[in-house]
Structure 1
Amino acid sequence: MSLTLQTAATILYEHHLLREIITRDSWTLNPASIANCDEEFSDMTYNSLQITQGSLLFCKGRFKPEYLAHADELGLAAYVATEDFSQYTAAPGLIVTNASQAMSLLSAAYYEYPQDELTVIGITGTKGKTTTAYLAHAMLNAASGNKAALFSSVDNCLDGVTYDESDLTTPESLDAFRMMREAADNGMQYLIMEVSSQAYKVNRVYGLQFDAAGFLNISPDHISPIEHPTFEDYFYCKRQIVQHTNTLVLGKDCAHADLIEQDAQLNHVPVTTFAVDGDGADITAVCANDTHTEFTLMQHGVTLGTCSLALDGDFNYANAAAAVALTQAVGVPVTQPILDAMSTVRIAGRMEEFRSGDMLAIVDYAHNFASTSALIDFIDQRYGERHPNITLVTGSAGNKAVDRRKEIVEAAQNRVDHLILTYEDTDTESVEDICRAMLGFVTNPQLDARIILDRTQAIETAVREARERDGMQVILVIGKGNERWIKAHNKHVPYEGDDRIIERLFA
């Protein structure tokens, strides 16, 4: 890991990001003029609280100059920012046009371009990213002897076998390249990573070229003043992956697939399509029996093999087909033993089923119109003939994706019997205001809809009332999965977890 002020300035200059270099004595644009600045940075950070002797600090986002109050005492070596902070620190500054782009480029250099030592797969889409990533990870692990790393919204895995809870769908670029370096040093050959729309919006994957990328599907989501102002902006950010991959795997039934294919053609990116029971797709997943327990993977009409999933739901067949296409896209032949690796994949908080007598509870991360509809579709397909009584326990995130509040209600209100609105990651917004807004979108007078602010109490109420009713009862608890915290006022507050609450109540 070797990066100096001069080499950093040179990289930024070559990528047309450098505005000027401000030192104690001068302002300059020429990296060669600071040739004597050859001391290597000891560390890199975007958190001023983590400055140590010899650190390079990235001043990005909502950075305030007050954060530099003790920077010189802590040993700040230099900073990267879009403005001059020389009145707050004696450290030299690399003034750039975009701090987050600069951070991604310099992070890659500092960690000695670990992506070049890995075959990197990126997966984007509105829904299915995590499941597809886990399925592809299982197959590539099976093919390589556990030499596949994973970055997902649920867990990160840097050694092929150990999983640690993640904080973001796509890590900040500095964290991502640090983790890539650790994975490469651990002997990993592959990396499968989820790529969110925000990853391109805020440059978390700036400058990163994927060996293969999957574009699963697209539908409105993350529309809010602090995320994407419009669906077009959300879709455009997602589409950036097409220009930054060597080959693309695309859902045949993806909305606006024609535009994505045009994008690929203009950028000379070959496309492989996938579908479920679909005509014309390159890779298809075909249900093998009426019990929906097994399916066949086909490539241009030729059988690759059969597979069953521990993850229920026909929509996961599409995720499996995408994973197969991505595995092949990076040169790994898909054989029956490789397909068998998908059969044991389970993801905490994804379609987790719990049973107690004639009662079924499902804990899932569903959080928008598409995923909520898909979950209810699954209940209808599997249990519709039994006319189950359905209770949905949900909330909606605060400070972002305000469109979800209406969409979740619209997806559910004419298809469930009971709707309990409750706490989710409300951040700094009032949970009561969010729940009341959602309740205001209910237009079905037959729906039993109410607010129970305490999430634990909401789930306990749903289970208790279900036990008092006759016939099959289905309880859907969505949004939090297996997370052990709830975000409130920018802090993670400990929480038992939806899955553990159901497990406790069903024990």
Structure 2
Amino acid sequence: MTLSCLTHNIGDLLAAPLPEADPLVSAVQYDSRKVTEGALFVAVPGEAVDGHRYIPEAIERGAVAVLGELPHDDLSVPYIQVTDSRKALALISATFYENPADRLTLVAVTGTNGKTTVAYIMESIFAAAGHSAGVMGTISTRFCGKEETSTMTTPESRDIQDTLARMADAGVTHAVMEVSSHALALDRVAGCAFDAAIFTNLTQDHLDYHGTMEIYGEAKRQLFEGHRKKGGAAVINMANEHGRHLTETLTGTVFPVGGDTGALTADHIEVAIDGIKGEFVTPEGRTPFASGATGRYNLENILCAAGAALSVGIPMDAVVRGVAAFKVPGRLERVDTTCGRHLFVDYAHTPDALENVLSTLRHLVPGRLICVLGCGGDRDRTKRPLMAGIGAAYSDLAVLTSDNPRSEAPEKIIEDMVPGIDGETSFRYEPERLSKDFSRKGYVVVVDRREAIGLAVASARPGDTVLVAGKGHETYQIIGDRRLDFDDRKEVLKAVEDRR
């Protein structure tokens, strides 16, 4: 593809006239280390690294043209100056890969919590309907029997288009993509048009990046205002306040789910430790359903996925089969043992998600509830006391520990958490004085996560429940600049073996 063809749709972003030279472009890259002969290199300014610094390296590796935001008149290859190289990268990538979103029935899901669960449910529903399904999300990208572990919820725009093209070429017909607020703010899904877009909820998270809940909410809103195909539905969770507000202000097709007025609601709901059952209610009638997922918050996720599936033409019988079959790694995942305790691992790392999981367990399980929780380093500090307060309020014992401390001292993160705990109702235990017969509601600080999990399991009596929250499916822990092997599920099993 020639450079002029590749850049035909970025006219509004040009900061200078296009160069006269029109070389053939064989690849698009934003990472200079991956540039090959014949590539267009797009220099993207990042938070930590500015891609403009790597223009010489890209040319040396064979780039035949460069696009960036800073002026350059001394390069040996054609240079395109734009006002926004991130958005230009997205649009150029869509063109280079021949707009693969148009070859798929493509669904997007955004929201603070629930994205991954909704994506798994939709994948299961698509499969139940006989379609070849693809997923791009927090845990992995997977299609046609292949799976690639994800490093971020929503990849860079060039990688999105590459993946969608590979899906379509492999025969995928229906795909779902988790779309984060960061991705929307950074224009990663520019060039994608969705047949349906789902809003799960909006609660506190990522304020270290967005600054305020208002800005955070506006980032989410972008998905529904500029990225739907003609007639594409906005599937909105009416159980969330921000969702109700969205339905009042969006134009185009809106498909509300849940609440009392949704196009799809649920009735006769029964929630137990082993799952949910009830009836889907639509204008066409009532349909029984059941799922192995539990908790009212998972009912909201099920309704979001079912609503999106119905909006893109999936029949209700396939929706019911898909809802019955799905499982999500690290989302209230039971760690099966024969030790007589209920042991769970969950990804809950926001105040709302943690409260949802703990309130569910509090009402469903016998015995005492023990929760292991921490907060990530280099992330929103304001949620730290909120997380600790929720953990202590719902648990008989909260074990405060490390999550992914990154560059921060784990002790300092926990120090930020402790003020959220009501000292009058929660007694502070010292680790060495805690036993399985602890008699007072309280909390304990154990900085080492492995030791914290061990203490929680050792403190549980038969019939008690232990929830290890925050990391879920993750198989690593980030300490400093090191990414260490660490899987909460394996640590729980090891702790059970150690106490025998």
Q: TM-score, normalization: structure 1?
A: 0.88
Structure 1: distance between partners of 2:113 and 2:311: 21
The Cα shift of 1:471 comes to 5.6
The Cα shift of 1:259 comes to 2.9
Is 1:121 the equivalent of 2:121?
Answer: no
Counterpart code for 1:496: F
Residue 382 (structure 1) aligns with: 364
1:310-329 counterparts in 2 under 5 A? 310-329=292-311
The Cα shift of 1:209 comes to 2.0
1:103-252 counterparts in 2 under 5 A? 103-145=89-131, 147-159=132-144, 161-224=145-208, 227-243=209-225, 244-245=227-228, 246-252=232-238
| Selected match of 2:283 from 289, 297, 300 | 300
Residue 499 (structure 1) aligns with: 489
Cα deviation, 1:362-410, whole Å, max 9, x if unaligned, reads: 1000011110000111112212xx3x32222121122222222122112
1:422-441 counterparts in 2 under 5 A? 422-441=401-420
Structure 2: distance between partners of 1:454 and 1:151: 33
Contact 1:393 1:421 in 2 (8 A): yes
| Selected match of 2:291 from 292, 304, 309 | 309
Structure 2: unaligned runs, 5 residues or longer? 428-441
Counterpart code for 2:22: C
Residue 485 (structure 1) aligns with: 476
The Cα shift of 1:65 comes to 4.4
Structure 1: unaligned runs, 5 residues or longer? 21-28
Residue 23 (structure 1) aligns with: none
Structure 2: distance between partners of 1:449 and 1:381: 20
Cα deviation, 1:445-476, whole Å, max 9, x if unaligned, reads: 4243333222212211211222xxx4632211
Contact 1:295 1:317 in 2 (8 A): no
Q: Assess, with a 3 A threshold, how the Cα gap between structure 1 residues 91 and 263 changes in structure 2: closer, same or farther.
A: farther
Structure 1: distance between partners of 2:150 and 2:37: 28
Contact 1:413 1:444 in 2 (8 A): no
Q: Assess, with a 3 A threshold, how the Cα gap between structure 1 residues 428 and 414 changes in structure 2: closer, same or farther.
A: same
Structure 2: distance between partners of 1:120 and 1:64: 31
Contact 1:79 1:91 in 2 (8 A): yes
| Percent of pairs with identical residues | 26
Matched length: 472
Structure 2: distance between partners of 1:482 and 1:252: 28
- Structure 1 SS opposite 2:443: strand
Is 1:84 the equivalent of 2:71?
Answer: yes
Residue 24 (structure 1) aligns with: none
Structure 2: distance between partners of 1:257 and 1:483: 29
Is 1:474 the equivalent of 2:456?
Answer: no
The Cα shift of 1:158 comes to 2.7
- Structure 1 SS opposite 2:372: strand
Contact 1:397 1:425 in 2 (8 A): yes
The Cα shift of 1:238 comes to 0.5
- Structure 1 SS opposite 2:343: strand
Structure 1: distance between partners of 2:494 and 2:204: 35
Contact 2:122 2:322 in 1 (8 A): no
Residue 25 (structure 1) aligns with: none
Contact 1:414 1:444 in 2 (8 A): no
Q: TM-score, normalization: structure 2?
A: 0.89
The Cα shift of 1:293 comes to 4.1
Contact 1:8 1:106 in 2 (8 A): yes
Give the root-mean-square deviation of aligned CA atoms: 2.1
The Cα shift of 1:121 comes to 0.6
Residue 26 (structure 1) aligns with: none
Residue 333 (structure 2) aligns with: 352
| Selected match of 2:34 from 43, 50, 56 | 50
| Selected match of 1:270 from 235, 242, 253 | 253
Q: Assess, with a 3 A threshold, how the Cα gap between structure 1 residues 450 and 85 changes in structure 2: closer, same or farther.
A: farther
Contact 1:104 1:204 in 2 (8 A): yes
Structure 1: distance between partners of 2:67 and 2:450: 45
- Structure 2 SS opposite 1:182: helix
- Structure 2 SS opposite 1:420: strand
Structure 1: distance between partners of 2:271 and 2:306: 23
The Cα shift of 1:192 comes to 0.7
Counterpart code for 1:313: G
Counterpart code for 1:295: G
Cα deviation, 1:51-110, whole Å, max 9, x if unaligned, reads: 2222222211231544345333211222221103455x5332211111110110011011
Structure 2: distance between partners of 1:379 and 1:144: 35
| Selected match of 2:446 from 437, 449, 452 | 452
Contact 2:32 2:57 in 1 (8 A): no
